[in-house]
Amino acid sequence: MARLGDCIAMMDEGIGRVSQVIPDMPAAEARLTRLLLMVGHTFDEAVEQALRPNKINHSDFLTLMILYSRPDGSSTPGELCEYTSQGATNMTRIANALVKRGLITRGASEEDRRRVVIRITPSGRRFVQKLLPPLFPRVSAAFAGFSDADKRHFSRLLRKLADNLDHLDESPSPVKKQP
């Protein structure tokens, strides 16, 4: 597989050429978008690869981590869908897989019988505690050479992007409401 640096160099040149043919393209923003997508995708792959020895995939792991991080260790499919950005369909599959491995339990809710309550098991907690520490060195290595200021800036810029994305579809011309 090509190194990411080579892909980026190639993308830089490509956008340079395209922006000569189509001059009103926002080339700087297009570069940043491609850059973000490429780095994000590679990060994703790296996580998937790090999890593979544990025979768990990223979305199953993320779901389990959310349960682990909850004070009461429980949630519902609907809520997990929201926070994992997964569709309900896929959450059913994820829950099936985690139940089969004994990492979570699935039970009916008392208050609202449409709801299903998902809860991490002791075995699930042990699994997380065993799985996490080996990931730490790679997580740290990914940000090697980042100063504290770099980390703050990066965090700020990503959060700003998130905010922009949240408002992308509302008010294409955000004229202030007339009072």
Q: Which stretch binds its own copies (CB under 8 A): 92-100, 104-112, 114-122, 146-154?
A: 146-154
Residues of span 120-179 touching DNA by CB under 7 A: none
Q: How far is CA 98 from CA 71, 92, 108, 120, 121, in A?
A: 19, 10, 17, 9, 10
Instruction: Give me 168's structure tokens.
Output: 């992308």
* Cα 167 from Cα 28, distance rounded (Å): 21
> Residue from 136, 175, 176, 177 that binds its own copies (CB under 8 A)?
136
Among its own copies, DNA, none, partner that 68 touches (CB below 5 to 8 angstroms by kind): its own copies
- Counting Cα atoms < 13 Å in the Cβ hemisphere of 138 gives 14
Range in contact with its own copies (rule: CB under 8 A) among 67-75, 91-99, 100-108, 116-124: 67-75
Of 71 and 179, the one with the shorter C-beta distance to its own copies is 71
Establish if 122 lies at the interface with its own copies (CB under 8 A): no
Pick from 2, 89, 175, 177: which binds its own copies (CB under 8 A)?
2
Q: Does 98 bind DNA (CB under 7 A)?
A: no
Residue 120: strand pairing partners: 104
Strands 74-75 and 104-108: unpaired
